[in-house]
Amino acid sequence: MGPAAGGGEALLSLRGISKHFGPVQALADVTFDIPAGRVTALIGDNGAGKSVLIKCIAGIHAPDAGEFLWEGQPAHIRNPVDASTLGIETVHQDLALCNNLDIVQNMFLGRERVRHLALDEEDMEKAAAKTLAGLAVTTVRSIRQPVASLSGGQRQSVAIAKAVLWNSKLVIMDEPTAALGVAQTAMVLSLVRRLADRGLAVMLVSHNMNDVFEVADRVAVLRLGRLVTVKPAAELDRQIVVDLMTTGASTRDVNPPSQPGVQP
Amino acid sequence: MSKIDGLPMIGDPNAEGALADASAGADIAVGPELVANSLGEYLRVAVSRVKGGDSGILPVVGGLILISALFQSLNSHFLTSGNLVNLLIQGAVFMLLAMGQVYALLLGEIDLSIGFVSGIGGIVTAELVKQSTGWPWWAAIIVALLVCATIGAVQGTIITRVGLPSFVVTLAGLLGFQGVMLLILGNGGSVPINDKVINDLASGNLTPAATWAVLLGVVAAFGVRTWRREEGRRASGLVAPPRSLTVVKVAGALGAAVVVALICNADRGTLVPIRGLPWVVLIVLAVLTAWTLLLGRTKFGRYVYAIGGNAEAARRAGVRLARIRTMAFTLSSFTAGIAGIVYASRLRSVSTALDGGTLVLYAVAAAVIGGASLFGGRGKAIHAVLGGLVIAAIDNGMGLQGYSAAAKYVVTALVLLAAVTIDAVARRGRTSR
C-alpha cells in the first residue's frame, strides 16, 4: 500500500510535515498524499492536529520541518497567497460570507472584475451562475439574493462554489456539515462528491463518521499529531476508525465472516 | 440537469414559470425585483416585504407623503412653491451631512465630528474669500474641502491604526473642532461672506429654461442608463427586474422632475419675481449621483458594504480594512465640508451660532430615518437624502405652525425612535432566519 492508496496521481504530497508550538508537538512527521479526483477525509479526535495540518496546507502556519510536493515538484507554501496561487482554497467552518451581500458579490469578494473603473457585474454574474450550475447548486431562487436569506446548506454551497470559482485544484473543507440538518447535509455531501468527480482534490475534515463513510474515498487518521494510517475508505469501517483515533491501533477486521461483501 | 425541490436551475430558460410559482409564497428576504416577472407581482412581493420590515425606501417615502398631507391640512401655505423650495434649501445641509454620515454608518461606525468639521469647511471658505485674503471662490472651496478631507483622514487613521473606537475619536473631533471654530471666530464672532458665487450656492437660482433643461437632462441620463443596463441584463439572461418596472422607474423619475421644475419655476417672490431651480439642489443631486456610483459600482463601495456585513470575511478575502475604513472617514468629512460651505452660503456668514452637535445628530437621524442601518452594512446615499427631507419637512412644517424649537426636537426624536425601531425589528427578522 503506497502513500497514494486508493487514489490516482498525487496532487499534493506531504513529506514529514512537523510543527510545534513551544513545547507542544502539534504535528510530527506527517507524510501522505492528496490525489486529484478523490475525497480524502482527515479525521482525528480533538487536539489530534487536524486544524494545524490544514492551516499548514493553507499557508496560515509554516511547518517547522518537512516539505510539500505540488504535482511532484517541491513547493513552498509560506502564506495564504502562496496557497491560493498554487490552487489551494479553504472553506472555513465559519464560511466567511457577508450576509448583506448577494451570492455573486460574496463569490467575487476581494477579486472583483472591473471594467472602466466600475465593477463588471454582468461578467461576474455570468461566471457565478456558470459555476453554480456546474456544481448543480440549484436550490437558490436567485443568485442576486442576499446570503442572509439562504439556508445553512445553501450558504455552505455558496462558500464551496466561491472556493471552486478560482480554478482551484485542491479544496479543503473544515467540518462542512457541522451545523446542518439531515437534508442539507446530504446536499452538501453530494456537492463534495461532484467536486471530486470534476477532478478536484478534496480534503474533508470531519468529526462525523457518517459523512466520512458516505463521501470519502480515502481516510487519513491523525492521533496526537501523528498520522496513524491512510487507507481507502473501503478498507475501514466506523469501529476501526474510532479505535485508530482513540488508541492508534485496531485489531478488528473490516469484513466480519457473516458479511462476505467486500473482496480483498 | 435535474431540478431539486421543484426549484429551477440557474440559467434554465424554462425557469420563468417556476420562478413565478415560487414567488407566490412571497419570501420577504428576497428583493421583489429578483423574483417578480410582472409589475403586479412585483407590487405584491414589495408589500409583503414592507410587512416583514425590510422594505427599502418605501416607508420613508410613505412617511414623507403622510407628513406633507398633515402639514398641508394644518397650514395651506406648506405646499406652496415658495415654502417647498425653502424646504429644499433648508434640508440640503441635513442631506449632505447625512450622505457623509452614511459612510461611517455603513462600516458599523459613527462619525460625531462632521457637524463641526462642516463648520471648519465654512470658516476656511469664508476666511479665504473675504476682502483681506481675496482668494477666488473656487480656490477657497478646493482648499476648504481638502482641509476637511484631511481632518477625516487623520481621524480615520487614528481609528484604524491605533484601534480606538470611532465614537471616542470623533467625539474628541466634535469637541476639538468646536474649540478651533471659537478660536478662529472669537467669542460670539462671525465672518461675513461677500463673494457672489459662494452666496449663490444656496440662494442663487437657474433660469426657468435652464431648470427644465437640467432636470430633463438628468432624467434622460438616468432613464437611458437604467433602460440600457436592465435591457442588457434581460438580453443576457441575467437577473433583471420586469420591463414594466423599468418603465415605471423612469416614468416616476420623469414625473418627479416635472413636478420639481413646475414648483421651482412658479414665481415665489414677494416683491420681485423669483423663479428657477436653486443651485443647491444641483449640488445635492451631484453628490447623490457621485456617492451612489462610488458605493454601488466600485470595488471601494463593495468593500465598505463587505466590512459592514462581516469584517472578518472581508479581511480573509484580502480587503485592506484599515485603508478602506480610513477612506470612508475621509469621504465622510469631505462631504461634511460641502455641507459646511452650503450652510455658510445660506447664512452668508459663519458664526459661533453654528451648532455642530445638533447638526451631526440630525445627520445620523436623517440617515437612519431614510433607511440606513446603525449596525452597518445597509444604507445608500438616497436614504440620507430622503431622511434629510423628512427632517427638513418636520422642521419647516412645525415652524409654519409656530411651534417652538423644543417641540421640533421632541417630534424629530419621536420620528427617529420610530425609524430606529423599524431598523432593529427588521434586523431581528433577518437574523432569526
Q: How close does chain B come to A176, measured CA to CA in Å?
A: 17
C-alpha cell at A217: 474515498
User: For residue B272, with 0-12 CB atoms within 10 Å meaning exposed, 13-18 middle and 19 or more buried, which class applies?
Assistant: exposed
Distance CA B255, CA B253 (A): 5
Nearest to residue A191, comparing CAs of A130, A127, A129, A137? A137
Residue to test with chain B: of A141, A162, A191, most B Cβ within 10 A: A141
Amino acid at A187: M
Choose among B19, B29, B297: nearest Cβ to A148: B29
Q: What is the pLDDT of residue B34?
A: 61
Count Cβ–Cβ pairs < 8 Å, chain A vs chain B. 122
Residue to test with chain B: of A94, A108, A109, most B Cβ within 10 A: A109
Helices (H), B10-111: 15-23, 32-35, 39-51, 58-74, 81-106
Supply φ then ψ for residue A118, to 5 degrees.
-100, 155
Residue range A47-102, pLDDT digits in tens: 888 889 998 998 888 899 999 999 989 998 888 888 888 999 988 888 789 999 99
Distance CA A114, CA A129 (A): 18
Please, what is the average pLDDT of chain B? 85
B397: enclosing H helix or E strand: helix B381-400
Residue range B120-151, pLDDT digits in tens: 999 999 999 988 888 999 999 999 999 999 99
Residue bearing cell 420590515: B53
3-state secondary structure of B248: helix
Residue range A166-206, pLDDT digits in tens: 778 999 998 888 878 888 888 889 889 988 998 899 999 98
B186: how many CB neighbours lie within 10 A of its CB? 10
Interface residues on A facing B, Cβ-Cβ cutoff 8 A: 92, 94-101, 105, 109-112, 114, 117-119, 122, 125-126, 129-130, 132-133, 136-146, 148-149, 187
DSSP letter (8 states) at residue B159: I
DSSP letter (8 states) at residue A9: S
Is residue B92 over pLDDT 50? yes
Residue to test with chain A: of B3, B4, B10, B225, most A Cβ within 10 A: B10
| ipTM for the predicted complex | 0.82
- Note whether A141 contacts B312, CB cutoff 8 Å: no
Q: What is the pLDDT of residue B428?
A: 67
Q: What is the pLDDT of residue B168?
A: 96
Please, what is the average pLDDT of chain A? 85
- Say which range, A178-182, B63-67, B272-276, has the weakest mean pLDDT: A178-182
Residue A116's pLDDT band (boundaries 50, 70, 90)?
confident
Which chain A residue has its CA at the smallest distance from B8's CA? A138
Residue B429's pLDDT band (boundaries 50, 70, 90)?
low
Distance CA B161, CA B253 (A): 43
Question: pLDDT exceeding 70 applies to what percent of chain B?
Answer: 86
Beta carbons of B78 and B400 less than 8 angstroms apart: yes
Is residue A5 over pLDDT 80? no
C-alpha cell at B297: 459600482
Rg (chain B; Cα; Å): 23
Amino acid at B96: L
Amino acid at A213: F
- Note whether B5 contacts A139, CB cutoff 8 Å: yes
- Count Cα neighbours of B418 within 13 Å in the Cβ-side half-sphere: 13
C-alpha cell at A138: 440549484
What's the mean pLDDT in B381-404? 92
User: Do β-strands A201-205 and A170-174 pair in parallel, antiparallel, or remain unpaired?
Assistant: parallel
CA torsion sign for B39, B41, B46, B51 is positive
Question: Going from the N-terminus, what domains does chain A have, and what CATH number goes with each?
Answer: 10-95+169-247 (3.40.50.300)
Q: What is the pLDDT of residue B50?
A: 55
Residue B10's pLDDT band (boundaries 50, 70, 90)?
very low
Beta carbons of B385 and B288 less than 8 angstroms apart: yes
